[in-house]
C-alpha cells in the first residue's frame, strides 16, 4: 500500500489525475472503475481540465461505476447516473457506449448484478479503480461485515451511511435503503486501486484501513492485500496515522521513473 499525503485534496487529486492521464496515454482503451461522492470531485475537475486544456483524449476508454441506488431512475437528480454526467461524463469525450453504471431500477436485481460482472470481464477487467472511503471504512457500498470476497450485489445501507448521503436527497428519510454495488472481491481484481480520502472525519477510517488489521469490519483494510493500492490523502485525513513521517519520506525519495 502506497500512502501519499498532500497539503489538501486539490493537490492530492492532481496526483491522481496525472496517474490516470498516464494510463490513458499508455493504453487509450483503458478501463476505469469510478466512484461518486465528494472525494472524487476534485479529481474529475482536473481530468476535465486536462481534456479541455491539454487535449487528453478519452474517446476509447470504458468506465464502470461502483454503485447505484435501488429503485432510483437514472434521471433522478440524486442518482449516480446524474452525478457522473454532471461531474465528468458531460465534460470529457467519453463515448456513451463505453459508460457502465449499475441499473438500480432493473426488475431482475440478481441478473443485473451477474451481467455487470460479465461486462467487466468482457472488457478485460478494470485497469484503475477509483475509490472513496466511508467514515466507517466502507468502499463502494460494502458496509462493515461485508464479505471480502463479495461480488456485485444488492446491499442494505446502514443508518450512518444513509445520513452521510442525506444532503443529496433533502433529508435522511428520503435516502433509499438499498443499493447495487461492486463487491470487495470485484474491486480487488482491479489492476490498481486509487483511494481518495479528505477531511478530519475520514482520519479514523484511514488509520484503520492502512495501519489496522485486515478485517471485514473495515472493508477498506483489504486494500493492504492489493498489489497496487494507492491512498491519496490530505493532511487532515492522515492525522490519525502513526507513520506519517515515513510515508512522506518514501514519497519524497521515489526514483524519478516512479513519480506521478
> How confident is the model over 33-90, as pLDDT tens digits?
999 999 999 999 999 999 999 999 999 999 999 999 999 899 999 999 999 999 999 9
Average pLDDT of the chain is 96
Cβ-based burial of 102 (10 A; exposed 0-12, middle 13-18, buried ≥19): buried
Catalytic residue chosen out of the listed positions 103, 117, 127, 143: 143
Question: Catalytic annotation on 164?
Answer: no
Residue 221 has pLDDT above 90, yes or no: yes
The conformational region for residue 151 under phi > 0 = left, psi -120 to 50 = alpha, else beta, is beta
Question: Catalytic annotation on 138?
Answer: yes
Summarize the confidence of residues 150-168 as an average pLDDT.
92
Res 193: pLDDT: 98
Q: For each of the domains in the chain, give its residue range(s) and CATH number, in order of start.
A: 2-253 (3.40.50.1360)
Catalytic residue chosen out of the listed positions 46, 51, 67, 87: 67
For CA atoms 56, 58, 63, 66, the dihedral sign is positive
The whole-model pTM stands at: 0.96
Cα 20–chain centre separation: 13
For CA atoms 27, 127, 72, 176, the dihedral sign is negative
Summarize the confidence of residues 120-145 as an average pLDDT.
97
Res 5: pLDDT: 98
Catalytic residue chosen out of the listed positions 81, 87, 100, 138: 138
Residue 247 has pLDDT above 90, yes or no: yes
Res 249: pLDDT: 96
Residue 259 has pLDDT above 90, yes or no: no
What are the two backbone dihedrals, phi and then psi, of residue 53, each rounded to the nearest 5 degrees?
-95, -25
Summarize the confidence of residues 131-156 as an average pLDDT.
96
CB 1 within 8 A of CB 226: yes
Residue 97 has pLDDT above 90, yes or no: yes
Catalytic residue chosen out of the listed positions 136, 164, 234, 235: 136
Amino acid at each position: 500500500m502506497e500512502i501519499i499525503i498532500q497539503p489538501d485534496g486539490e493537490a492530492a487529486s492532481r496526483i491522481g489525475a496525472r496517474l490516470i492521464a498516464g494510463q490513458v496515454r499508455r493504453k487509450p482503451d483503458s478501463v476505469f472503475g469510478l466512484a461518486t461522492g465528494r472525494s472524487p470531485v476534485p479529481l474529475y475537475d482536473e481530468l476535465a481540465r486536462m481534456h479541455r486544456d491539454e487535449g487528453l483524449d478519452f474517446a476509447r476508454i470504458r468506465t464502470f461505476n461502483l454503485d447505484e441506488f435501488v429503485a432510483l431512475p437514472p434521471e433522478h437528480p440524486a442518482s449516480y447516473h446524474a452525478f457522473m454526467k454532471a461531474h465528468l461524463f458531460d465534460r470529457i469525450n467519453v463515448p456513451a457506449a463505453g459508460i457502465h453504471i449499475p441499473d438500480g431500477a432493473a426488475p431482475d436485481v440478481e441478473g443485473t448484478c451477474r451481467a455487470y460482472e460479465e461486462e467487466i470481464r468482457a472488457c478485460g477487467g478494470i485497469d484503475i479503480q477509483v475509490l472513496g472511503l466511508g467514515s466507517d471504512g466502507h468502499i463502494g457500498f460494502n458496509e462493515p461485515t461485508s464479505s471480502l470476497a463479495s461480488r456485485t450485489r444488492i446491499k442494505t445501507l446502514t443508518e450512518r451511511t444513509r445520513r452521510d448521503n442525506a444532503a443529496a436527497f433533502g433529508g435522511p428519510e428520503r435516502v433509499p435503503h438499498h443499493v447495487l454495488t461492486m463487491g470487495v472481491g470485484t474491486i480487488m481484481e482491479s489492476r490498481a486501486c486509487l483511494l481518495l480520502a479528505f477531511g478530519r472525519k475520514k482520519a479514523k477510517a484511514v488509520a484503520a484501513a492502512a495501519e489496522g488489521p485486515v478485517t471485514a469490519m473495515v472493508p477498506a483494510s483489504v486494500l493492504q492485500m492489493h498489489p497496487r493500492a494507492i491512498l491519496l490523502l490530505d493532511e487532515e485525513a492522515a492525522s490519525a496515522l502513526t507513520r506519517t513521517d515515513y510515508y512522506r519520506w518514501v514519497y519524497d525519495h521515489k526514483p524519478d521513473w516512479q513519480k506521478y
